Amino acid sequence: MSHPAFISLDGLDGAGKSTQCRLLADWLRAKGHAVTTCIDPGGTPLGAQLRSLVLHHRSEIDRMCEALLFMASRAQLLAEVIRPALASGNIVLSDRFLLANIVYQGHAGGLDVERLWEVGRFATGGLEPDLTIVLDLSLEQAALRRGRAADRIEKRDLEYHARLRQGFLAEARRRPERIRVVDAAPSIEIVQQAIQGEILSFLCRKGA
């Protein structure tokens, strides 16, 4: 089948993105679609180095510098993986994309959200996911899934994660045609079914 589509999954760490991406890829392939999966930031050798630079840098990284390193990694991911995959008619499933930059460095980090969208559009050449699934989960549950006792999260951490969650929801409210929120609290299977429902109605709208 040759119906290229660009889909991303996003949400808090621990929400279930990697788990659901994997299941979604299996499901789409079983339906006969060619699927390319990738992860942002990262997803290419250069992107992996940039990601590791940010994660392992010893001193504080300026937020703008961090945002731009993620933008750089994404530009390479688009050039090396996403554009070629779409050009050959694949469905691309990206574990996170630009929205995470907007939410982490903008809504939670304090950088101007509109300017980040502008820089993001420039860095991606305007290519954006046709559909983004935001996996929405309470901060406590996300922390538990990340392997941390919810009662041990510091207040500062909670406030930061609350801004992240609210940021994802605010962006989804602003762009309901492209960003769909799925409740990530139920079992892996139920969440997968809800995601599949969103994908089916999206593919249907596309006529695929």
Map residues 168-187 to x or -, x wherever contact with ligand ADP holds by CB under 6 A: -------------------x
Among ligand ADP, Mg ion, none, residue 13 binds (CB under 5-8 Å by kind): ligand ADP
CA 113 from chain centre, in angstroms, equals: 16
Among 15, 78, 91, 123, binds ligand ADP (CB under 6 A): 15
Q: Which of residues 9-48 bind Mg ion (CB under 5 A)?
A: 17-18
- Any idea what DSSP says for residue 150? G
Among 92, 123, 191, 194, binds ligand ADP (CB under 6 A): 191
Looking at beta carbons only, is 15 or 71 nearer to ligand ADP? 15
Among Mg ion, ligand ADP, none, residue 51 binds (CB under 5-8 Å by kind): none
188 binds ligand ADP (CB under 6 A): yes
Give the closest residue to 24 by CA, choosing from 191, 172, 156: 191
Handedness of CA 55, 123, 116, 17 (dihedral sign): negative
Residues with Cβ within 8 Å of 153's Cβ and at least 6 positions away in sequence, in order, are: 139, 140, 143, 161
Token reading at 152: 């041990």
Counting Cα atoms < 13 Å in the Cβ hemisphere of 1 gives: 15
Footprint of ligand ADP (CB under 6 A): 13-19, 145, 187-188, 191
